A and B are shown apart, each in its own frame.
Chain A
Amino acid sequence: MTGDAALRAHPPEVSAARAQRFGTWLYAEHELRAMRSYLSVIVAYSIGHPLLYLVAMGIGLASLVDANGGGDFGGVDYLVFIVPALLASGAFLAASGEFAWPVMDGFKWHRLYYGPLVTPLQPWQIAAGHTLAVSIRLLSQSLVYYLIVAAFGAVPSGFGILSVLTATLAGLALGTPLMAYAATIKEEKAQFVMIQRFLVMPLMLFSGTFFPLTNLPLFLQWVGWLSPLWHATEIGRVASYGYAEPLWLSFVHVLYLVALAAGGLALSFRTYRRRLVT
């Protein structure tokens, strides 16, 4: 069209067919490319943040706890006990940001979603593509973090690598329902900050992260049972150091996380479509 006869786009039918098949990945590609421009921030945040916890809690506090026989951690050091929880909470925290502000950016601030909306992509593929891109980010940061703590000798079992997956799942179990909600917000009036302060932070504190959930009085333990972070942490502990729990309970943890993530995603498909197609 603008010169060069050799340069030809494929026909629209091919565009539509490829978008139908690979649309989710095509959208994720865009986000991953954009993430490269703030890669240093992602690295600093995703690795620096839990590392800080690792040093402060896992090493500093651990020496105090272990020296004073501070608690029953299933026969392992406090550091070993806390690592799967820190791994999961790193992904959990990152997801609480990635499924909030970028969604607002897509619909409102920079209206980024309205670009792909007028291409062969469909609204559900935008939601799925965002989820895929963030999943890749969560997986990568969890893997790097895992390799660091493994180098510290804080993961006795080789199955500990599975905690990278469960940590990512924890992020998605919080993230996709958050994304479904974020897609309905017309004006951001500190809703996300409220969610961080009054949902994410309390869940971090009461999900058996820094001490076993059973240390809490029974009337507070339900917070952990509902929290995706607790479920992910528990399986992470099973994988990392053979924390003893019945097999059926591990299945329940995984099912709970998958159900939240899948339910949130299905809901997002609806809220994205409702917002984008008038």
Chain B
Amino acid sequence: MLQNTPGSEPGPSLPTARGARPTVIRARGLTKRYGDFTAVDGISFEVPAGESFGLLGPNGAGKSTTMRMIGGVSQRTSGELEIMGLDPEAQGPLVRAHLGVVPQQDNLDEELRVRDNLIVYGRYFGLDRRYLRAKADQLLDFAQLTDKANARVDDLSGGMKRRLTIARSLINEPQMLLLDEPTTGLDPQARHVLWDRLFRLKEQGVTLILTTHYMDEAEQLCDRLIVVDHGRIMAEGSPAELIRRYSTREVLEVRFGTDRNAAVVPQLAGIGERHEVLPDRILVYAHDGEAALEAIVGRGLHPLTSLVRRSSLEDVFLNLTGRSLVE
């Protein structure tokens, strides 16, 4: 196991209590301020190699800023940050040479053909053309874009552009991939294709660092995540742990009509562990949703519609912040 001692070669640092895997990201009190505004407010976390780690939070929570600091293209105001044992501010080019980055907004060169986009990007890493030609074909296959190799980027759908951006980020065979809102703006089918590709990378041992404001994405892809809001970590754990800790097993959603929802809530006292009143429905957090519904009906209340579902990260976020993730 590689150990990082002062003066040693840069490399994965000390193994952590999580097991034999070395820590590839270590953040301590990481803070970023823009004037009076604090985008990232003293967050600390560690990510072992090969983990799929998520930053879940609403827009403006500080997720993208954290990603930029990891890549060394945003300078931290205070705190410590180590990527593969390196300081991204002091050794930005070397840190970025280890990374693959999928930005929130596509920045493909639309004047180049699909395959050429991979090749010019690979050249930024000083990779030679022979390797790049072969690797580009391999990645186009991985991204299911082989038949579009000579198409103009302009002619690709949104989902194809995202897949091309992911393919591009893999050109240097990074061991860590940063994905900033990878599926925002895509239709459900395109999202599932993308998740499948990301899952394959995860199986190959690539460390995935993912920001998202989609709870289903976080549940699908992340081994562990931090819930961030206003630049602070609200909770940390695996999706299942977070749900167990901050929500009940099931959620009963009942609708009494927009005008009546708030008025009905006092009559639900004692049913379930907790209630959340949303504009269009009431959420009753209970271990047994069906039993909660029976209890409500037993009190002579008759919801217009009812639905029992499993708790999700959305419920975790709602409980932690009192707000919905997607507003």
* Choice from A12, A30, A276, A278 contacting B98 with Cβ under 8 Å: A12
The verdict on A68 contacting chain B, using a C-beta distance below 8 Å, is no
- Enumerate chain B residues within 8 angstroms of A7, measured Cβ to Cβ: 131, 134-135, 138
Q: Does A1 contact B (CB under 8 A)?
A: yes
The segment out of A17-25, A53-61, A92-100, A153-161 that lies at the interface is A17-25
10 contacts between A and B (CB under 8 A): A7-B134, A8-B131, A18-B125, A23-B124, A34-B109, A115-B107, A115-B124, A118-B178, A122-B92, A278-B74
Q: Check if B94 sits within 8 Å of A118, measured CB to CB.
A: no
A26, B123: Cβ atoms closer than 8 Å: yes
Residues in A neighbouring B34, C-beta threshold 8 A: 278
Which residues 80-105 in B have Cβ within 8 Å of A in the complex? Answer: 92-94, 96-99, 101, 103, 105
* In the bound complex, CA of A33 to CA of B178 (Å): 27
- B103: which A residues are within 8 A, CB to CB? 114, 118
Cα of A12 to Cα of B85 in the assembled complex, Å: 14
On whether the beta carbons of A38 and B111 are closer than 8 Å, the reply is: yes
Complex: chain A residue closest to B72, CB-CB = A277
Q: Judging by beta carbons under 8 Å apart, are B107 and A4 in contact?
A: no
Question: How many A-B pairs fall under 8 Å by CB?
Answer: 129
Which residues from chain B contact A8 at a C-beta distance below 8 Å? 131, 173
Give the residues in chain B near A114, CB-CB below 8 Å: 103, 105, 107
Do A112 and B124 have beta carbons less than 8 Å apart? no
Given the known interface contacts A2-B170, A9-B127, A27-B124, the answer about A117 and B73 at a Cβ–Cβ threshold of 8 Å is yes
**Contact B96 A119, beta carbon cutoff 8 Å:** yes
Residue on B nearest A8 in the bound complex, by CB: B173
Q: Which of B168-182 contact A (CB under 8 A)?
A: 168, 170-173, 178
Q: When chains A and B are docked, how far (Å) is the Cα of A276 from the Cα of B103?
A: 14
* 4 nearest A-B residue pairs (beta carbon): A18-B126, A12-B97, A119-B124, A15-B97
Q: Is the CB of A119 within 8 A of B73?
A: no
CA gap between A39 and B297 in the complex, in Å: 74
B120 at the interface (CB under 8 A from A): yes
Contact A30–B172 (Cβ < 8 Å): no
A274 CB to nearest chain B CB (Å): 11
Please state if A16 and B124 are interface contacts (CB–CB under 8 Å). Answer: no
Q: Out of A4, A19, A118, which one reaches B126, CB within 8 Å?
A: A19
Residue of B107, B112, B116, B126 with highest tally of chain A CB at under 10 A: B126
Q: Which residues of B contact A75 (CB under 8 A)?
A: none
Chain A: minimal CB distance from B150 (Å): 12
Q: How large is the interface on B (under 10, 10 to 19, 20 to 34, 35 or more residues)?
A: 35 or more
B109 touches A9 (CB 8 A): no
In the assembled complex, A37 has its CB within 8 A of some CB on chain B = yes
Whether the pair B73, A121 counts as a contact (CB closer than 8 A) is no
Q: Which B residues lie within 8 Å of A4 (CB)?
A: 134, 138
Q: How far is the CA of A15 from the CA of B97 in the complex (A)?
A: 6
Minimum CB–CB distance from A15 to chain B (whole Å) comes to: 4
Also in contact, A9 and B172, with CB within 8 A (given A2-B138, A19-B93, A33-B112) = yes
- Across the interface, do A3 and B138 meet the contact criterion of CB distance under 8 Å? yes
Q: Which residue of A lies closest to B172 (CB)?
A: A9
Q: How far is the CB of B314 from chain A (nearest CB, A)?
A: 30
B139 within 8 A of A: yes
Is B246 an interface residue, CB under 8 A from the partner? no
Which chain A residues lie closer than 8 Å to B201 at the CB level? 1
Q: How far is the CA of A100 from the CA of B191 in the complex (A)?
A: 37
Q: Which residues of B contact A9 (CB under 8 A)?
A: 125, 127, 131, 135, 171-173
B212 to chain A, nearest CB (A): 18
Looking at the assembled complex, report how far the CB atom of B321 sits from the nearest CB atom of chain A, in whole angstroms: 26
Contacts of B120 in A (CB 8 A): 29-30, 33
A119 surroundings in chain B (CB, below 8 A): 96-97, 121, 124-125, 172
Whether A120 and B125, one on each chain, are in contact in the complex, defined by CB atoms closer than 8 angstroms, is yes
Q: In chain B, residues 251-269, which have Cβ atoms closer than 8 Å to a Cβ of chain A?
A: none
